[in-house]
Amino acid sequence: VHLSLLRPHPPWVAPEPYNQLYDPAALADFIRAESAQIEAEQHPFLAEMLATKHYSAPADQAKLTRLKSSYFGLMTDVDANLGRLFDFLKASGQWDNTLIIFTSDHGEQMGDHHLLGKLGYFDASYHIPLIIRDPDFDPSRANAQIDHFTENVDIMPTILDWLGLECPVQCDGQSLRPLIHTGAPTGHWREEAHWEYDFRNIPAGEALEHRLGLTPHQCSLNVIRSAQYKYVHFTNLPALFFDLVADPEELNNLIDHPDYQSLVLAFAQKMLSWRMNHDEQTLTHLALTDNGVVSRPSPRYAPLRSTP
Same domain, 26 and 91: yes
Note the pLDDT of residue 300. 62
The answer, as to whether pTM is greater than 0.75, is yes
Q: Which tens digit of pLDDT belongs to each residue from 97-150?
A: 999 999 999 999 999 999 999 999 999 999 999 999 999 888 888 888 889 999
SS (H, E, C) 19-32: HHCCCHHHCCCCCC
Of 146, 169, 204, the last residue of a domain is 146
DSSP string, 165-180: -PPPTT-----SHHHH
Pairing of strands 100-103, 229-234: unpaired
Checking if the pLDDT of 202 tops 90, the result is no
Note the pLDDT of residue 96. 94
The count of structural domains within the chain is 2
For 239, residues 6+ apart whose C-beta sits below 8 A from its C-beta are 231, 232, 233, 255, 264, 268
13, 67 in Cβ contact below 8 A? no
Same domain, 12 and 101: yes
CATH value at residue 214: 3.30.1120.10
CATH value at residue 31: 3.40.720.10
Same domain, 10 and 121: yes
Do the domain assignments include residue 265?
yes
Q: What range does the domain containing 231 cover?
A: 191-302
Do the domain assignments include residue 162?
no
Note the pLDDT of residue 128. 94
Residue 29 and residue 42: Cα distance in Å, rounded? 21
By residue count, the chain amounts to: 308
Confidence of residue 306 (pLDDT cuts 50, 70, 90): very low
